[in-house]
Chains A and B, each alone.
Chain A
Amino acid sequence: MSQDTIARLKENVIQGRKTKDDEGVDDSLSGTPGVLELTRLALEEKVSPDIIVNHGLTAGMQVVGDKFATKEYFIPDMLASAEAVGEATAILKPYLEASNSEIKGKFTIATVKGDIHDIGKNIVATLLRGAGYEVVDLGINVPTEKIVQMVRENKPDFLGLSALLTTTMLAMGEVVRELEASGLRDKVKVLIGGAAVSDEYAQEIGADAYCVDGFHAIKMVDTFQQRKL
Chain B
Amino acid sequence: MLIIGENINASTRAVAEAITTRNQEFVTELAQAEVAAGADFIDVNVGAGSSSSQDEARAMKWLVAVVQQATDKPLVIDSDCPEVIRAALNKYQGKRLIINSVTAEPQRLEAVAPLAAEWGSGLVALAMGTGGIPNSVEQRLDACEWIMTQLTRLGIKPEQIYFDPLVLPVAVDSKQALVTLRTIEQIKSRYPGAKTVIGLSNISYGLPKRKLINRTFLVMAAYAGLDAVIINPLDAKAMSLIKAADMLIGKGSRGYTRAYRAGAIVD
- Measured CB to CB, the residues of A under 8 A from B are 16, 23, 25-26, 72-77, 80
Tier of interface size on chain B: 10 to 19
In angstroms, Cα B258 to Cα A25, docked, is 6
Shortest distance in angstroms between A122's beta carbon and chain B's nearest beta carbon?
23
Whether the pair B257, A74 counts as a contact (CB closer than 8 A) is yes
Chain B binding surface SS class: helix
A72-B253 in contact (CB<8A) = no
B41 within 8 A of A: no
Provide the bound-state CA to CA distance between A65 and B187, in Å: 43
| B261 beta carbon closer than 8 Å to chain A | yes
Q: B: which residues have CB within 8 A of A? A: 252-258, 260-262
The 6 A-B pairs at the shortest CB distance, nearest first, are namely A76-B253, A74-B257, A76-B254, A76-B257, A77-B257, A80-B254
Q: Which residue of A lies closest to B262 (CB)?
A: A26
Having A25-B261, A72-B261, one finds 12 other A-B pairs with CB under 8 Å, namely A23-B254, A23-B255, A23-B258, A25-B254, A25-B258, A26-B258, A26-B262, A74-B260, A75-B253, A76-B256, A77-B254, A77-B257
**Judging by beta carbons under 8 Å apart, are A73 and B258 in contact?**
no
CB-nearest residue of chain A relative to B253?
Answer: A76
In the assembled complex, which residues on chain A have CB atoms less than 8 Å from the CB atom of B257? 73-74, 76-77
Which residues of chain A are within 8 angstroms of B261 by Cβ–Cβ distance? 25-26, 72
CA distance A73 to B254 in the complex (A): 10
Of chain B, the residue at the smallest CB distance from A77 is B257
Give the residues in chain B near A73, CB-CB below 8 Å: 257
What chain B residues lie within 8 Å of A26 (beta carbons)? 258, 261-262
